Amino acid sequence: MTEEDRSIFSRIIDREIPARIVAETETIIAFHDVAPQAPVHVLVVPKTAQYVTVNELAAADPGLLAEMVKMAQSLADDLAQGDYRLVFNSGASAGQTVFHVHAHVLAGALEEGTLAG
């Protein structure tokens, strides 16, 4: 993969650009979205850049997907009151802009007309 092909999330994972990181394991990182669309809006991102969509991830590594879901619950417990929405935009016409699979964890009152509304 060339330098230009690396996603913005790979650059956050490698600490090349800053982010407000809230959780990290050997395989996953979570940080606040730079443009939040809910009071709590955190992105849960596998460190591997191998998968673009949640379907690809589910087919190839369901355990890693389950780890992401577990982290989402833990973040919602810590940052909100335990309830949350989990959004995966899959494909450009569905709103995906970063082609490195990631989950949006949205909690609190959600604004109208957002990716979660």
Just list the catalytic residues. Answer: 102
Residue from 48, 74, 96, 114 in contact with ligand 5GP (CB under 6 A): 96
Q: Does residue number 31 form part of the binding site for ligand 5GP (CB under 6 A)?
A: yes
| 85-87 and 21-24 strand pairing | unpaired
Inter-CA distances, 17 with 7, 9, 11, 62, 104, Å: 11, 9, 6, 29, 20
Binding residue for ligand 5GP (CB under 6 A) from 19, 45, 57, 103? 19
8 belongs to the binding site for ligand 5GP (CB under 6 A) = yes
- For 8-84, strand residue ranges (E) read 21-24, 28-32, 40-46
Stretch that binds ligand 5GP, among 27-35, 47-55, 64-72, 73-81 (CB under 6 A): 27-35
Query: What angle is formed at CA 115 by the lines to CA 112 and CA 117, rounded to 5 degrees?
Result: 35
Q: Which of 78, 83, 19 is nearest to 45 (CA)?
A: 19
How many of the chain's residues bind ligand 5GP (CB under 6 A)?
13
Q: Which of 39, 62, 82, 95 binds ligand 5GP (CB under 6 A)?
A: 95
User: Which residues of this chain interact with ligand 5GP, rule CB under 6 A?
Assistant: 8, 19, 31-35, 43, 89, 95-98
